[in-house]
Amino acid sequence: MKLLVTGGAGYIGSVVAARLLTAGHTVVVLDDLSTGHRDAVPDGAGFVHAGIADATDLLDASFDAVLHFAAKSLVGESVAEPERYWWNNVAGTLRLVEAMTAARVRRLVFSSTAAAYGRPDRTPITEDAPAAPINPYGHSKLAVDHLLAGTASARGLAAMSLRYFNVAGAVGRHGERHDPETHLIPNILDVPAGHRDAVDVFGTDYPTRDGTAVRDYLHVDDLARAHELALDATGSAESVGTHGSHRIYNLGTGTGYTVREVVESVRRVTGHPVPTRERDRRAGDPPVLVASAERIGTELGWHPQHDLDRIVADAWRFTTTHPETITR
Ligand SMILES: O=c1ccn([C@@H]2O[C@H](COP(=O)(O)OP(=O)(O)O[C@H]3O[C@H](CO)[C@H](O)[C@H](O)[C@H]3O)[C@@H](O)[C@H]2O)c(=O)[nH]1
């Protein structure tokens, strides 16, 4: 297939783009490099340096599908600058979907988020749990989920919203290169890498087994596999009919780890001591976010293969073999 991958110079987009190329697809990356990196675009992919609004000029009927990763994704920034999230994530995606309709490109895989569930009252979280985001980032992604549901039925779009839980790890030369880096695993790995002397633990009074917050960490390689399966599913007979379809899937492992357990995994994998500093809770962090991944397992046959130690080991290998790519 010929595929447009928006945000393909970013962490997750570049891993998925590389996998799609390996599977034999033609890939064109569209990225404004506001947070992505030109050298993360996989070899063999076309590259267009532009924002998603410019998809109107780029898309034509030669494309079979779009995988849409380009987005603003910092919760704190979204609270401080909500307009940026509505313009970029919502209005930008609206333009992209309109461009798809005009070009008769009818298959879309969209990066949604566990933040759509806000503070869920029960775990593991199934897709029919109430959507109640607690920050503009979550609101913007949920708004797109609603947009896609409506466009699917009105325009015959076959769309998938994949709600990511905590994506981590690395594949080959593709790993996390955020600036600023807010995510737990790369921040812990900064200690053995010698960039900081201790890691902050945000919140030690949560109602969890050791008082720290629980998250469902998913290897980016497993995530990439899910995108391939979702893309295939948008091409199935029931998806591409005149009525279109929109399906939401959670992407997590179903297993949660506390912050302290992740620190312990880093100690185990790297063999380095990792001192911690106890800090107040970070604003807006829910105590527990663990996915039920039953729906995508049953319907698309996706089953994650990599455990937490493997995620940490691959992230550590990326940190030590590509130190020049770490921006902080
Ligand atoms: O240095 C750190 C970094 C994080 N944490 C804690 O570790 C847990 C995980 O934090 P991350 O920042 O790695 O991940 P989040 O669960 O906050 O974020 C995830 O969910 C967000 C929406 O809620 C966004 O989608 C984000 O991109 C995605 O990784 C949280 O309890 C956080 O407070 C620390 O203790 N120390």
Q: Report yes or no: 256 and 165 within 8 Å, Cβ to Cβ.
A: no
Distance of alpha carbon 76 from alpha carbon 78, whole angstroms: 5
CA of 136 to the centre of ligand 1 (A): 16
Where do you find CATH 3.40.50.720 in the chain?
Answer: 2-167+218-251
Q: Where are the alpha helices (DSSP H) in 105-183?
A: 136-155
Which pLDDT belongs to residue 242?
Answer: 58
Distance of alpha carbon 192 from alpha carbon 269, whole angstroms: 11
The best mutation among 202, 263, 280 to test binding of ligand 1, ranked by most ligand atoms within 8 Å of the C-beta, falls on 202
For the stretch 179-214, pLDDT in tens is: 888 999 999 999 999 999 999 999 999 999 999 999
Tokens representing residue 135 in the block:
């920050």
The best mutation among 69, 117, 177, 184 to test binding of ligand 1, ranked by most ligand atoms within 8 Å of the C-beta, falls on 184
Q: Ligand 1, closest atom to CA 213?
A: 31
Residues of the chain with pLDDT under 50: none
Distance of alpha carbon 181 from alpha carbon 138, whole angstroms: 19
Which pLDDT belongs to residue 326?
Answer: 59
What helix, strand, coil percent values describe the chain, rounded to 5? 40, 20, 40
Distance of alpha carbon 313 from alpha carbon 307, whole angstroms: 10
For the stretch 221-260, pLDDT in tens is: 999 999 999 999 999 856 655 568 999 999 999 999 999 9
CA of 145 to the centre of ligand 1 (A): 22
Tokens representing residue 78 in the block:
């979204």
DSSP-derived letter for residue 174 is: B
Which residue has its alpha carbon closest to ligand 1 atom 4? 184
Q: Ligand 1, closest atom to CA 187?
A: 1
Which pLDDT belongs to residue 20?
Answer: 98
Which pLDDT belongs to residue 178?
Answer: 82
The best mutation among 187, 223, 285, 289 to test binding of ligand 1, ranked by most ligand atoms within 8 Å of the C-beta, falls on 285
ipTM of the complex: 0.96
CA of 227 to the centre of ligand 1 (A): 22
Mode of pairing for the β-strands spanning 166-168 and 257-258: unpaired
Which pLDDT belongs to residue 296?
Answer: 97
Topology at the third CATH level for domain 2-167+218-251: Rossmann fold (3.40.50)
Q: Ligand 1, closest atom to CA 182?
A: 12
- Predicted TM-score (pTM) of the model is 0.96
CA-CA-CA-CA torsion sign (140, 200, 251, 286): negative
Q: Which whole-number Å values give the CA distances from 235 to 134, 241, 325, in the listed order?
A: 34, 10, 37
Distance of alpha carbon 232 from alpha carbon 320, whole angstroms: 35
For 63-85, b/e burial (b = at least 16 CB within 10 A) is: bbbbbbbbbbbbbebbeeeeeeb
Q: Which residues contact 202 (CB under 8 A, 6 or more apart)?
A: 213, 259, 279, 280, 281, 282, 285
Which residue has its alpha carbon closest to ligand 1 atom 33? 202
CA of 184 to the centre of ligand 1 (A): 6
Instruction: Compute φ and ψ for 178, nearest 5 degrees.
Output: -90, 150
Residues acting as catalytic residues: 137
- Ligand 1 is surrounded, with C-beta below 6 A, by 73, 75, 113-115, 166, 182-184, 187, 199-203, 213, 215, 259, 282, 285
Cross-strand pairs, 291: 125
Q: Report yes or no: 113 and 164 within 8 Å, Cβ to Cβ.
A: yes
Which pLDDT belongs to residue 179?
Answer: 85
For helices 259-270 and 308-321, the axis angle rounded to 10 degrees is: 60
CA of 45 to the centre of ligand 1 (A): 31
**For 168-215+254-325, CATH number?**
3.90.25.10
DSSP-derived letter for residue 88 is: I
**Does residue 244 come out as left (phi exceeding 0), alpha (psi in the -120 to 50 range) or beta?**
left
CA of 182 to the centre of ligand 1 (A): 7
Where do you find CATH 3.90.25.10 in the chain?
Answer: 168-215+254-325
